[in-house]
Amino acid sequence: METGATDTDTRKNPEGLYLRWDGREVQWAWMFRDSVSQESEFSFGHRAVSKISMLPEVLRALKGRFSTVNEVVYTQRFARTTIVPAIVLKDDSEAAEKWFKLHHAPSKNVGLRIRHLESIEGEPVFVEGLDDDWEASVKRSFPQAQGVIQSAVLMQTAISISRQIDLWVVVIDSGTRGADFAASFKGNAVWSGHSLKGDPESILYSVVNAMHRNGVEQDGVAVRFAGDIGQDLHAVFKRFFSDTECLGQSKWEGLKLLSK
């Protein structure tokens, strides 16, 4: 069950707080269990950040509002990410850094988050470049917070679906300022990417480009959107793909996935 309310009351037993940042806006989902119905529910919120100096203040306000929450998970949207097979890295963080620099050629040194999906065939390792301001602001207010990689979360969903259908499954979490992508085929991680443009044509181009690079025809693709999407985006994808579907009924599904 979902609710748009962001305040708390005595019937709500907090279970987790899930945060993400897209460079201009902080979004959050608060998961709680209703003491009467015993159902887990979510409330959502967001706050635009016009100046990066405001980011710590936003996190401090959330700390004051959700001070009783023990589990805090955070991520960033539209981040530069690389997938490398575990056999290539061999638990070598320096090798992970070299692969990240090879793929993204950052202009300066960046911190990295590494996530090894050991339970998945091929054991893909996700390497993500971090936003230092976001990391510092979260950790200052929530020292216990666990950082996760958004595309790795989406990949787990894509893999689960691809084990049930014989198609190239693409999961898309779109926003006004961009989109995150993860694709799987028969339980294998095959592609992860992001777009820094949120218009429908740019999002479609990213998927079609990846599809062609992997030699996949459009009738061999199933597209799954993480949550409700606008009519424009749906129309653009329907024009190209016959198998499209929304996972969930709200626009916050991609954020809710952090709770799984």
Same domain, 156 and 260: yes
- For residue 168, give every residue at least 6 positions away whose Cβ sits within 8 Å of its Cβ, in sequence order, or none: 162, 183, 184, 185, 190, 211, 214, 216, 220, 221, 222
Spatial distance between the Cα atoms of 212 and 183, rounded to a whole number of angstroms: 13
Spatial distance between the Cα atoms of 139 and 147, rounded to a whole number of angstroms: 10
Any idea what the CATH number is for the domain that residue 17 is in?
A: 3.10.20
Pair of tokens at residue 94 = 């320096």
Residue 240 lies in a domain: yes
Residue 43 lies in a domain: yes
Range(s) of the domain holding residue 43 = 2-74
Last residue of a domain, one of 74, 102, 121: 74
Residue 201 lies in a domain: yes
Sheet holding 124-129, edge to edge: 81-85, 124-129, 112-116
Q: DSSP string covering 16-38, please?
A: EEEEEE-SSEEEEEEEEEETTT-
Residue 4 pLDDT:
43
Q: Distance from first CA to last CA of the chain, Å, rounded? A: 15
Q: Which amino acid is present at 171?
A: V
Residue 238 lies in a domain: yes
- For residue 85, give every residue at least 6 positions away whose Cβ sits within 8 Å of its Cβ, in sequence order, or none: 122, 123, 124, 125
What distance separates the 2 farthest-apart alpha carbons in the chain? 55
Residue 102 pLDDT:
93
Structurally, the chain folds into a number of domains equal to 2
SS3 139: helix
Same domain, 157 and 67: no
- pLDDT digits 0-9 by tens, 242-254: 999 999 888 899 9
Last residue of a domain, one of 42, 74, 106: 74
19, with CB counted inside 10 A (0-12, 13-18, 19+), is buried
Residue 63 lies in a domain: yes
- pLDDT digits 0-9 by tens, 164-204: 999 999 999 999 999 999 999 999 999 999 999 999 999 99
Residue 76 pLDDT:
97
pTM here is 0.91
- pLDDT digits 0-9 by tens, 196-244: 999 999 999 999 999 999 999 999 999 999 987 888 999 999 999 999 9
Are the CB atoms for 144 and 72 separated by under 8 Å? yes
Are the CB atoms for 158 and 187 separated by under 8 Å? no
